[in-house]
């Protein structure tokens, strides 16, 4: 995927990797060559960009964009090396080295390509080909094959422009991204009660409006969900019905909002929402000739994302999602049903590239509820484990942070940030527990991005505050 990418994106005559002999600078066909230039570049990346840290995929992409821009500017002064110059001195050194190397460890790939291991090789000629073949193929789905490509690309471009990827903590990074998408799609204007009522009306549609699981496409971007016996979870919404449903929701929303807050372009908002749904829960066939009538989304997937992104308390949302999975005769859920619900929830951070595929697909229910003596989980145990107690699993921490982030957006802290020197700020407030007199405080932007000043270190323990009480009020309360 990188061979046709221009090395220089700002030069008048960009150099493409496909124009080079090999994919790294310094290689030369049919002549002795090394990857020393490539290793030098690797060291430069570690020292100047990644700081020798493992980066999340979202941060990696933004860092790669910055590297390409820097290199594109510098290539005007130092052009990319496209060939190697040989002289008698280099030939003599190469011959001397060839007399000393262990020729039994040289692997010949073709008539002119040989692989020579280093002095302390971790692989030999026997294991090297097998290790290379064992490397997993990376397939990146960059198109949706639908008429919603433009809306999705616009949404992703605006999300990338917010620069959330520089936030150090994955849970807060995921929460900020979801909050942006929630506002962009105007889901923050939808209240939970109206959403639940609309979903109930959707279930009353004739069966012809909802396609069954057996008639839905089978080629998915996301893995096949765990099968369930519930009828509602096996139903699919066509794009036409999804468009009608969302249009009805936004139209009714405008009737309740004042004229200054009403959505002006409902059609654009509906298309952007559908594009996001299809990206998160894509059930498409990889066929460019598919029409909108052949695209569908699971009703239960649609319900989960709409409930989680509307306005309401997290406990009420999780209570509704739990009861939506109940059968008519039981008030408990099995591990399999909870795994399916978690699968639908974790599709959100997975689409944002904030959790791994193994976390997304793993069956977490048995591990999460292992402290219970039963395999049938009731509502109280479900809410206590995931929300009320301090036992929220790591894979769902972002969901807690997402709702806390919403609750503190309008909280004003009338103190100065010790890093950016802002006189007051909103959101979370962080106070150092180790600096002198505990007067070192940071706004959320500085803390999330690792900005520090004075003698404060990023390794210091910090306490998070979601409220602010003025010193005057504290003094009045103390003398009562």
Per-residue DSSP letters for 207-223?
GGGEE-GGGS----SSP
What ranges do the domains of the chain cover? 17-133, 149-406, 412-478
Phi first, then psi, for residue 115 (nearest 5°) are -110, 120
The CATH architecture assigned to 412-478 reads 2-Layer Sandwich (3.30)
Q: Phi/psi at 180 (nearest 5 deg)?
A: -65, -45
pLDDT for res 57? 77
Q: What is the pLDDT along the chain (480 residues), one digit of tens a residue?
A: 333 344 333 334 444 444 444 444 445 444 555 666 667 777 777 777 776 777 777 778 878 888 877 777 776 666 655 555 666 777 777 777 777 777 666 665 544 456 666 555 555 555 555 554 444 433 333 344 446 778 888 888 889 888 888 888 889 999 999 999 999 999 999 999 999 998 888 777 665 555 544 333 333 344 333 333 334 456 888 888 889 899 999 999 999 988 888 888 899 899 999 999 988 886 433 344 344 555 788 889 999 999 999 999 999 999 999 999 887 677 899 999 999 999 999 999 998 888 877 788 788 888 889 888 888 999 999 999 998 887 788 889 999 999 999 999 989 998 988 888 888 899 999 988 888 777 888 899 988 888 888 778 878 888 899 888 765 554 455 455
| pLDDT score, position 179 | 95
**DSSP H stretches of helix in 142-191:** 149-161, 170-184
Of all helices (H) and strands (E), which one includes residue 347? helix 335-351
Tell how strand 107-108 and strand 114-115 pair up: antiparallel
Q: 188: closest CA among 315, 314, 316, 311?
A: 311
> Pick from 389, 429, 394: which is nearest to 408 by CA?
429
The dihedral through the CA atoms of 438, 439, 444, 450 has a sign that is negative
Q: What Å distances lie between residue 300 and 182, 206, 238, 251, 307, CA to CA?
A: 19, 17, 13, 23, 10
- How many alpha carbons fall within 13 Å on the CB side of residue 476? 5
Burial class of 259 by CB neighbour count within 10 A (0 to 12, 13 to 18, 19+): exposed
């Amino acid at each position: 995927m990188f061979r046709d990418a221009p090395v220089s994106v700002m030069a008048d005559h960009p150099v493409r990797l496909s124009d080079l002999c090999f994919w790294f600078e310094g290689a030369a066909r049919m002549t002795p060559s090394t990857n020393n230039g490539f290793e030098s570049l690797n060291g430069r990346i570690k020292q100047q960009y990644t700081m020798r840290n493992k980066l999340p995929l979202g941060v990696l992409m933004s860092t790669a964009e910055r590297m390409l821009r820097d290199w594109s500017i510098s290539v005007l002064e130092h052009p990319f090396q496209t060939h190697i110059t040989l002289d008698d001195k280099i030939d003599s050194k190469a011959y001397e080295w060839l007399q000393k190397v262990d020729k039994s460890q040289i692997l010949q790939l073709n008539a002119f390509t040989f692989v020579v291991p280093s002095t302390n090789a971790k692989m030999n000629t026997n294991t090297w080909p097998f290790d290379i073949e064992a490397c997993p193929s990376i397939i990146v789905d960059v198109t949706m094959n639908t008429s919603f490509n433009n809306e999705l690309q616009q949404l992703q471009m605006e999300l990338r422009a917010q620069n959330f990827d520089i936030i150090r903590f994955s849970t807060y990074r995921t929460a900020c991204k979801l909050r942006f998408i929630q506002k962009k799609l105007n889901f923050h204007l939808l209240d939970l009660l109206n959403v639940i009522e609309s979903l109930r009306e959707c279930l009353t549609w004739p069966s012809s409006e909802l396609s069954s699981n057996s008639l839905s496409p089978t080629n998915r971007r996301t893995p096949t969900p765990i099968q369930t016996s519930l009828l509602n979870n096996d139903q699919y919404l066509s794009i036409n019905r999804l468009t009608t449903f969302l249009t009805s929701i936004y139209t009714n929303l405008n009737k309740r909002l004042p004229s200054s807050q009403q959505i002006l372009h409902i059609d654009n908002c509906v298309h952007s929402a559908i594009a996001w749904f299809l990206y998160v829960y894509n059930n498409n066939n990889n066929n460019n000739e598919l029409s909108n009538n052949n695209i569908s989304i699971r009703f239960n997937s649609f319900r989960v994302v709409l409930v989680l992104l509307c306005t309401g308390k997290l406990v009420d949302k999780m209570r509704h999602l739990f009861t939506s999975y109940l059968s008519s005769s039981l008030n408990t859920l099995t591990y399999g049903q909870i795994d399916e619900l978690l699968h639908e929830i974790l599709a959100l951070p997975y689409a944002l590239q904030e959790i791994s595929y193994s976390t997304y697909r793993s069956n977490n229910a048995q591990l999460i509820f292992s402290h219970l003596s039963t395999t049938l989980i009731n509502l109280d145990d479900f809410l206590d484990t995931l929300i009320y107690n301090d036992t929220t699993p790591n894979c769902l921490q972002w969901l807690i942070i997402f709702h806390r982030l919403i609750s503190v957006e309008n909280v004003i802290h009338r103190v100065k940030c010790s890093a950016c020197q802002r006189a007051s700020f909103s959101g979370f407030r962080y106070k150092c527990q180790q600096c002198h007199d505990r007067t070192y405080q940071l706004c959320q932007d500085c803390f999330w991005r690792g900005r520090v000043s004075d003698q404060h270190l990023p390794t210091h323990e910090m306490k998070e505050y979601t409220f602010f009480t003025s010193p005057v009020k504290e003094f009045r309360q103390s003398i009562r």
